[in-house]
């Protein structure tokens, strides 16, 4: 870890939850950093391609992957993700994960986070490259992201629906931390959930790892070992009506979505 990575890395319990949803043959982490997400993807998918422009962070990610025992399942690529996607000739990619920089703590001073607030790297260009690479993309974004832009982004790139997952932390007091947006045709096919969808994920990773090893669980089966703990995740959106915890955006071209008020 470097000083900046302490602020940018995905909390392990959250990264584990996202990886449990990304159980594919090939996953690309287009903004690898020190490997927090790529390592978890390697535990649930057959292979991972981890891309980053920072050679030192890639070296840190490779070091961390060895500690977790998954270095042999990750290919580290020192490149700009947009260029990487344009020139990619490997196996078909099943999903792309993007966790772009948010512009530092100063982004919280604004009432809403715009996808254009960060110019380097350009989030819009990153997403466009990811959408061309495969039909499933996940964006890891601040809690006050402008959902107008999320709906427009999806429509521009042919996604009929998106799923917005809110991540709540329980400590020091319950609070909304961030959102993960899943772009996929699967969302439209599943339709709007009939009930609240919620999941708790654990912070006692050492105990869980021991349980996994003792029971022989690995990769795709490890979700069964997750106990209740401190980070609560729920699917949610606000549509200018009462807060509801399970809503998916359908028929995006017809929706008028108010910006999320945090």
Q: Which residues pair with 236 in a beta bridge?
A: none
**pLDDT tens figures, 165-219:** 888 887 777 788 889 999 998 887 777 766 656 667 655 444 444 444 444 444 4
Q: Could you tell me the pTM of the whole model?
A: 0.73
Residue 193 · residue 234 · CB < 8 Å: no
- As a whole number, the mean pLDDT across the chain is 76
Rounded Cα gap, residues 71 and 233, in angstroms = 28
Burial of 262 (0-12, 13-18, 19+ CB in 10 A): middle
Locate 48 and state its tokens: 């991972």
Residue 26 · residue 49 · CB < 8 Å: yes
**pLDDT tens figures, 3-53:** 777 777 888 888 999 999 999 999 999 999 999 999 999 999 999 999 999
Secondary element (H or E) of residue 177: strand 175-183
Residue 246 · residue 193 · CB < 8 Å: yes
């Amino acid at each position: 870890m470097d000083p900046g990575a302490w602020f940018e890395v995905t909390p392990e319990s959250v990264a584990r939850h996202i990886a449990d949803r990304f159980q594919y043959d090939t996953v690309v982490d287009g903004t690898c950093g020190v490997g927090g997400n790529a390592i978890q993807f390697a535990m649930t998918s057959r292979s991972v391609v981890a891309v980053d422009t920072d050679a030192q962070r890639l070296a840190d990610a490779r070091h961390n992957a060895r500690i977790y025992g998954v270095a042999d399942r990750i290919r580290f690529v020192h490149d700009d993700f947009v260029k990487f996607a344009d020139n990619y000739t490997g196996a078909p990619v099943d999903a792309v994960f993007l966790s772009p920089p948010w512009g530092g703590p100063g982004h919280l001073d604004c009432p809403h986070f715009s996808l254009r607030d960060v110019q380097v790297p350009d989030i819009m260009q990153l997403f466009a490259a990811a959408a061309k690479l495969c039909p499933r993309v996940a964006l890891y974004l601040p809690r006050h992201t402008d959902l107008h832009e999320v709906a427009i982004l999806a429509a521009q790139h042919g996604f009929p629906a998106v799923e917005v997952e809110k991540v709540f932390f329980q400590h020091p007091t319950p609070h909304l931390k961030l959102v993960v947006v899943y772009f996929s045709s699967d969302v439209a096919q599943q339709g709007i959930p009939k009930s609240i969808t919620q999941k708790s994920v654990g912070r006692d990773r050492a105990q869980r790892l021991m349980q996994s090893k003792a029971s022989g669980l690995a990769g795709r089966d490890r979700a069964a070992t997750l106990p209740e703990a401190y980070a609560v995740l729920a699917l949610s959106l606000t549509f200018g009506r009462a807060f509801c915890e399970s809503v998916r955006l359908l028929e995006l071209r017809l929706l008028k979505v108010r910006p999320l008020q945090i």
